[in-house]
Amino acid sequence: MAQFSLHCLEQLAKRSITEQTVLGVIQNATEKILIDGVFVYQSIITENGKDYLIRVFVNEDKIPPLIITAYRTSKLDKY
């Protein structure tokens, strides 16, 4: 299981994203890419009839893996 960084928990609260949503994206990611040594898990979710991409950044070199941050975007084509 992964561990949430303090920064991540602060950002989740600020962005109204639940820890369950983040863990769900990690477990069921439609895409996992490596950017500068950090894995980015991505998945599209629907909220209030609108599609959003959730991106979760994870440092898998740490034990347990460290969730650095996560955010939601409506700019699906950008990623």
Tens digits of residue pLDDT in 66-79: 999 999 999 988 88
Burial class (CB in 10 A: 0-12, 13-18, 19+), 29: middle
The full set of domain ranges for the chain reads 3-78
Q: Is the dihedral of CA 69, 11, 27, 25 positive or negative?
A: negative
Tens digit of pLDDT for each residue in 27-63?
999 999 999 999 999 999 998 999 999 999 999 999 9
Can you give the pTM of this predicted structure? 0.93
Residue 73 per-residue DSSP state: E
Cβ density class 39-50: b for 16+ within 10 Å, e for less: bbbbbeeeeeee
Domain 3-78 has CATH 3.10.450: yes
For residues 47 and 54, what is the distance between their CA atoms, to the nearest angstrom?
11
